[in-house]
Amino acid sequence: MPNFPPRRLSGYRLHTACLLAAGLQMLPVAASAQHAARPEALWAERQVVFWAEAHTGAVHAVGIRNGVSEFGVLRAPQRRAVTRLSLDPAQAVLTVTGDDAVYHYDARTLHLIRRDEARLARAPQAAGGGRKSP
């Protein structure tokens, strides 16, 4: 077995290695604590995680194939909060339920396909049984 001299890590690599080590140790605790607070969707085939900042409306696209690398952020001027993320891997469509509308994005290119305000407006009415209050 060859004997290589130890490599000295640069500040950035050392910082990243420490964060990864600490994060892996706390993963079960952090995942259970943040699961309810942060909407997420996993695209296992493409090794991509989408997660939302629930109170800002931003949705982050992070590649996890060769390390962790954020490759896009989805923002909409009208969206201030995200309550739900869902992914249809067969159609490659990411659905973002925001406080103002439901957004449909192409999960490959991160381009907006459509913004549907009517669908969000119908949701509270359906939950109330369709009755109108006097």
pLDDT in tens, 57-94: 999 999 998 889 899 999 999 999 999 999 999 999 99
Question: What whole-number distance in Å separates Cα of residue 67 and Cα of residue 56?
Answer: 26
Q: Which residues pair with 41 in a beta bridge?
A: 50
Nearest residue to 49 via CA among 23, 31, 69: 69
- pLDDT tier at 128 (50, 70, 90 boundaries)? very low
Domain positions in the chain? 9-37, 39-127
Top-ranked range on mean pLDDT: pick from 11-15, 25-29, 111-115? 111-115
Please tell me the predicted confidence (pLDDT) of residue 122. 57
Please tell me the predicted confidence (pLDDT) of residue 26. 42
CATH number of the domain at 39-127, please?
Answer: 2.110.10.10
Sign of the torsion angle spanned by Cα atoms 128, 113, 77, 83: positive
Q: Which percentage of the chain shows pLDDT scores above 70?
A: 61
Is the pLDDT at 25 greater than 60? The verdict is no
CB of 113 closer than 8 Å to CB of 95: no
Averaged pLDDT score across all residues of the chain: 75
Indicate yes or no: pTM above 0.85.
Answer: no
Please tell me the predicted confidence (pLDDT) of residue 119. 66
CB of 37 closer than 8 Å to CB of 54: yes
Taking residue 94's Cβ as centre, other Cβ atoms within 10 Å add up to: 25
